Each structure stands twice: as structure tokens, then as C-alpha cells.
Amino acid sequence: MSQAVSPPPASPADATPGGMLLLTFGLIGVFAFIQVYAVQAILPLLVRDFQASVVQAGSTVGATVLAVALTAPFTGMLSDAIGRKPIIVGSVFFLAVPTALMFFVTDIQWMILLRFLQGLAVPGITVVTIAYIGEEFRTRAMARAMSVYVAGTVLGGFLGRFLLGHLSAVMEWRSAFLLMAVANLLGALLVWRFLPASRNFIANPDMRSGLQMLGRHLRNRSVLTACALGVCVLFTLVGGFTYINLYLADAPYHLDTGALGNIFAVYLLGVVITPVAGRLLPRFGFRRTILLALGMSLIGLWLTLLPGVPLIVLALAIMSSGIFITQSATISFIAHKVETGRSLASGLYYMAYYSGGFLGAWLCGLAYARGHWHGAVAALTAALLGALLIGYRLLPPKSAA
């Protein structure tokens, strides 16, 4: 059981994770995120079928990330009390339930509610997996495992949009969600079979000590800095990739759901580029790596203003790659700086991170309604400039992974 009171001597934390375990971390990342952003590929269909506004359609994305933000810290405290693997596996199973229920949805309000329920399951995967990796591995092994996990989240984000976009081009989009639910059930079985029980987990069921740990984290500059970066990062990713769909579905491009799903192939670059963060961190440190990645994202964002689908796709690839590197470096920064209560620290980070995603879906929707894609770019630029300022002023200049 993962609730062992003392860690056995087997498998030292600085040992390199094997290939099967690395693959499992990647799969966890895939099945954590295969549903989270999938609906972005069918936003034009939701606007059409439900007669929804731009902001209502964007809320189907925002509802999920809001649910993650609200539950992430509590999931971390629960995991610190009862263990890692049971929550990870159970959360992947639960994610399939509201996904399957979308087959019966009849209006935009029910769609938003089910998307919210999907988000409730995500912290049990993301927050707890980061804590698991931080406990089981150290130094370069931890950086490698973390970067493979984040690469899996990138692949899952792509597959959700790609599969739902193409399935909706050949069948009714409600039926496509049934197939997506089956994918999550299969993922839960795989993770249950191949993820080892924790070796270094020590249960902390005392809620009072959890609240005391929460207070310490809220006074920890490293945790607060990572949280502030997380707000800006997911603001950019959600806001950008939500409303670029409506921009490309409108004149003069008129892309259908299949073509919009193809746009998210830029996420595959993240699968290749994100592990680079694991190599950059020991060489450049957290501060320099994050600042360079954010600058890369800002340049990519501005390039989306150029005309032509190929140029826009290239610009999205540049923007998203910088975001993925920033995310990988930031969660490694938390695992590196926090020695106790890692799951709670990760929960706080994800609360801030997904709060940024909710704000991105909402505020960029308002900006898009006023100024079309140029308005959204202005809002996204403000978020990235804020992240650059935070990284420059608050990250330690010589910190290395």
C-alpha cells in the first residue's frame, strides 16, 4: 500500500527511472489532458448548435480549468493523507463519467456543467503525479521523469483536440465524446497496471498539520513565485488556443473542425521540445530558462498577426513551445525548492495555474468580442509581459536544477 509509514530501502530516489516507468508517466500526462481542452476543436459547432455567444462557448473551456483551480489544493491535502497511486488511478477513471454523459447534453448550460465535472478529476492526476515524482526521484532523474510527464500532458492536449475535431467531422460530436470516454477508461487500466506503488511516501492524515503546511507554503517565496508564473502561463495557453479557433473558423479562413484539429499538431512539437527543459535547467538554471522560454512565446504570439494559415501555425508552434518549456521548468522549480508537503505545494501551483486558464478563457473572450483576434493578442501580451517581469524580479538568478 502507498500508506507505508516508512520508506523501504529499495530503489534509491536518485536512481534513473526505467523505460516502462517513463512511458507510464507519459501516459498519465496524456490521459490527464486528453479531455481538458478537447472541446476547443468544436467551439464553432457549439456556437452553431446551441446558439451560444463567443463568451458562452469559451466558458466550456473555462469551466473545466475553474474546477481544477478550486479543487487542486484540497486534492493535494487528501493525497498527502491517503497516498498517491489510488488517487491517480481513481481520477483517471472518474474523468470518463462526465465525458460519456456529454452524449445526452441538450444546451450550453449542461455542457458547461459537465465540463466543470471533468475538471474536478484533473487535480487527482496532475497534482498527485508531480508529488509522486518529487518523492520518488531526485536531481537529474526527477528532471527527466518530470519532463516526460509534461511531454505526455502536451501529447494529451493535442490528441484531445485532434481526435475530437476529426471525429466530429465524420460523426455527430456528441457520439465522439463516447469514444473519448472509452479512451479514458483504457488509460485508467493501463496506469493501474504499470504505475508502481509509492516507495517513499509517508502518510500525513492530520488535517491540522496540513493547514499549518498550507500556511508555510503561502509564506514561501518560491511557491508564490511559481504560482504567479502559472497564472500567466495558462492564461496565455487557454486564451490563445481557445479563440484562435474562432478566428480561423471565421472569414477569410473558414476552417472546419477537422482542419482546426490539425492546427493542434503544433502541440507535438512540445513533446519533443519540453524534455529540452530537463537538459537546460542544470546548465542555465530556472531563471534564465524561464525568461528565454517566455520571450520565445511572446514572439510567437505577435507572429500570429501575420496573414496566412501556414504562418499562423508556425507562430502558434513557437508560442506554445515556449509555454511548455516554462511549465516544465516551473513545476521542477517547485519540486526542487519544496522538501515537505510537495503535494499541497503542487496543489497551490495548479490552483493558480488553472485560475489563470479560467481568466484567459473569460477575459480573452471579452477582448475577442471587442477587438477580434487583435484584441485577444493585446490581452495575451499583457499576461506574457507580466510573467517576464515576475521571472526577472522574483526567480533566484543563479538557481540551477
- The 10s digit of each residue's pLDDT in 173-193 is 999 999 999 988 998 999 998
- Report whether pLDDT(399) > 50: no
Element (H, E) at 122: none
The DSSP letter of residue 102 is G
Q: Which one has a higher pLDDT value, 215 or 244?
A: 244
Distance CA 190, CA 27 (A): 8
- DSSP symbol at 14: T
Cα separation of 389 and 219, whole Å? 20
Cell of 400: 540551477
| 30 class by beta-carbon count within 10 Å (0-12 exposed, 13-18 middle, 19+ buried) | buried
Question: In this structure, are residues 302 and 392 in contact, taking their beta carbons and an 8 Å threshold?
Answer: no
Distance CA 154, CA 131 (A): 19
Helices (DSSP H) in 195-308: which residue ranges?
207-218, 221-249, 257-263, 267-303
Q: How far apart are CA 286 and CA 277, in angstroms?
A: 9
Distance CA 284, CA 395 (A): 13
Taking the alpha carbons of 204, 206, 207, 212 in that order, is the dihedral positive or negative? negative
When pLDDT is averaged across residues 372-381 and rounded to a whole number, the result is: 95
Cα–Cα distance measured from residue 242 to residue 265, given in angstroms and rounded to the nearest whole number:
15
Give SS3 for 33.
Answer: helix
- Percent of all residues in the chain with a pLDDT value above 70, rounded to a whole number: 90
Asked if residue 204 has pLDDT above 70, the reply is: no
- For 287-304, the pLDDT digits (tens) are 888 999 999 999 999 999
- The span from the CA of 177 to the CA of 322, in Å, is 30
**Cβ–Cβ < 8 Å for 35, 99:** yes
Helices (H) and strands (E) in the chain, counts: 14, 0
The CA distance from 129 to 303, in Å, is 35
The CATH homologous superfamily for domain 19-198+221-394 is MFS general substrate transporter like domains (1.20.1250.20)
What pTM was estimated for this model as a whole? Answer: 0.77
Summarize the confidence of residues 19-47 as an average pLDDT.
89
Average pLDDT over residues 212-233: 86
Question: Residue 22 above 70 pLDDT?
Answer: yes
What confidence tens digit (pLDDT) does each residue in 339-367 have?
A: 777 767 877 887 898 899 889 989 999 99
